Amino acid sequence: MYRAPLEDLRFVLHELLGDALLSALPAHAEYTPDLADAVLDEAARLAEEVIAPLRESGDREGAHWSPEGVTMPAGFKAAYRKFAEGGWVGLRADPGYGGQGVPIVLGAAVQELWAGANLAFKLGPMLTQGAIEALSLHGSPEQKARFLPKLISGEWSGTMNLTEPQAGSDLAAIRARALPEGDRYRIFGQKTFITYGEHDCTDNIIHMVLARIDGAPPGVRGISMFIVPKVGVRADGTLGERNEVRCLKVEDKLGIHASPTCVMQFGEEQGALGDLLGEANHGLEHMFVMMNAARLSVGLEGYAMAERAFQQALGWAHTRVQGKPPVAAPEGPAPIVHHPDVKRMLLTMKASVEAMRALALYAAFQLDLAEAAADAQVRSAARARGSLLIPIVKGWCTETGVEVTSLGVQVHGGMGYIEETGAAQSLRDARITPIYEGTTGIQANDLVGRKLGHDRGEAMTTLLAEATRELEALDVSGEAALVSLQRTALEGLQTLRLASESMLQALAGRPERAAAVSVPYLKLCGTALGGWLMTRSAAIASARLASGPGEVRRFLEGKRATACFYGAHILPQSLALARIVAEGATAVVETDAALL
Q: Could you list the active site residues?
A: 437
CA atoms within a 13 Å half-sphere pointing along the CA-CB vector of 27: 17
Burial (CB count within 10 angstroms: exposed 0-12, middle 13-18, buried 19+), residue 236? exposed
What is the Cα–Cα distance from 155 to 149, expressed in whole angstroms?
9
Q: Cα(358)–Cα(365) distance, rounded to whole angstroms?
A: 10
Q: How far apart are CA 195 and CA 435, in angstroms?
A: 13
Distance CA 369, CA 281 (A): 30
CA-closest candidate to residue 186, choices 243, 147, 139, 146:
243
Residue 139 DSSP symbol: -
CB-count exposure of residue 455 (10 Å: 0-12, 13-18, 19+): middle
Classified as helix, coil or strand, 576 is helix
Which stretches within 253-375 are classed as H helix? 283-319, 340-372
CB 112 within 8 A of CB 300: yes
d(CA 484, CA 489) in angstroms, rounded, equals 9
Residue type, 13: L
How many Å apart are CA 443 and CA 87, to the nearest integer? 32
Question: What residue type is 125 in one-letter code?
Answer: P
For residue 204, the one-letter residue type is: N
Amino acid at 447: L
What's the rounded Cα separation, in Å, for the pair 373 and 135?
22
Q: How far is 450 from 385, CA to CA, in rounded Å?
A: 13
The DSSP letter of residue 62 is: -
Residue closest to 371 by CA, chosen among 575, 35, 133: 133
b/e burial code for range 496-520 (CB count within 10 A of at least 16 → b): bbebbebbbebbeeebebbbbbbbb
Closest CA to 560 of 572, 549, 573: 549
**Beta strands 184-195 and 272-277, pairing class:** antiparallel
Q: For residues 400 and 430, what is the distance between their CA atoms, to the nearest angstrom?
A: 10
What separation in angstroms does the CA of 260 have from each of 64, 65, 197? 8, 9, 7
